[in-house]
Amino acid sequence: MDIQIITGDITSLDVDAIVNAANPTLLGGGGVDGAIHRAAGPRLLQACRAIPEVSPGVRCPTREARITLGFDLPAQYVIHTVGPVWNGGGSREPDLLARCYRQSMTLAMEYDLASIAFPAISCGVYGYPPEQASRVAVRSLLDTPNGGPERVLICCFSDAMADIWRNALNDEA
């Protein structure tokens, strides 16, 4: 598996799937979620609405993932996953975040996808310190069983964020 850290807008990437840092409703929000819905067009919201609720208002519990088409995006699929809200680190945040990456990779493997791009899940409004999130993410990706996407991009929204992720990749790899 080849992990690459890049800076850019994840909605522009021509990969088999981009990952959305969604919220449990899967009905859109701010940050990367809003950008993905805008770029994918209204059919994405329709597809998300069609995903069954597992409890009132919850289509995807924290740490799980769901897949839809990408509609107007260059990416064929969107994998929606819900990261943990940072709550000081004592509320199983690392385990929950690691599972987001793992579950997204598992779905990508089930769909036989060769390339996938992740945003810095939970590192925005959800407040996860990026130095810690990046290490958890890289570890989780490196521990993923073979057979999933060969090409894994981490698409950071700023060079400063990308530097943090590069440090994590250098330390964990």
**Size of the residue set binding ligand ADP (CB under 6 A):** 20
Q: Which of 122, 132, 134, 140 binds ligand ADP (CB under 6 A)?
A: 122
């090409």: which residue's tokens? 151
Cα–Cα distance, 19 to 81 (Å, whole number)? 7
Binding ligand ADP (rule: CB under 6 A), the pick from 9, 110, 112, 150 is 9
Rounded CA separation 109/105 (Å): 6
Query: In whole angstroms, what is the distance from residue 105 CA to residue 33 CA?
Result: 19
Binding mask 21-60 for ligand ADP (x = CB under 6 A): x---------xxx-x-------------------------
Give the x-and-dash track for 145-164 against ligand ADP (CB under 6 A).
Answer: ----------x-x---x---
- Residue 142 binds ligand ADP (CB under 6 A): no
Name the residue nearer to ligand ADP (CB basis): 33 or 107.
Answer: 33
Q: Which is nearer to ligand ADP, 23 or 68 (CB)?
A: 23
The tokens for 3 are 């992990």
Is 33 a catalytic site residue? yes
Query: Is the Cβ of residue 108 or residue 155 nearer to ligand ADP in the bound state?
Result: 155
Q: Nearest-CA neighbor of 107 among 73, 72, 60, 41? A: 60
DSSP reduced 3-state for 72: coil
Please, what is the Cα angle at 75 between 37 and 35, to 5 degrees?
25
Query: Does residue 14 touch ligand ADP according to CB under 6 A?
Result: no
Residue type, 114: A
Which residues within the stretch 78-97 sit at the binding site for ligand ADP (CB under 6 A)?
83
Amino acid identity for residue 148 in this structure: G
Closest Cα to residue 105, out of 165, 149, 154, 67?
149
CB closer to ligand ADP out of 11 and 132: 11
Residue numbers of the site for ligand ADP (CB under 6 A)? Answer: 9-11, 21, 31-33, 35, 83, 119-126, 155, 157, 161
Q: Which residues are catalytic?
A: 33
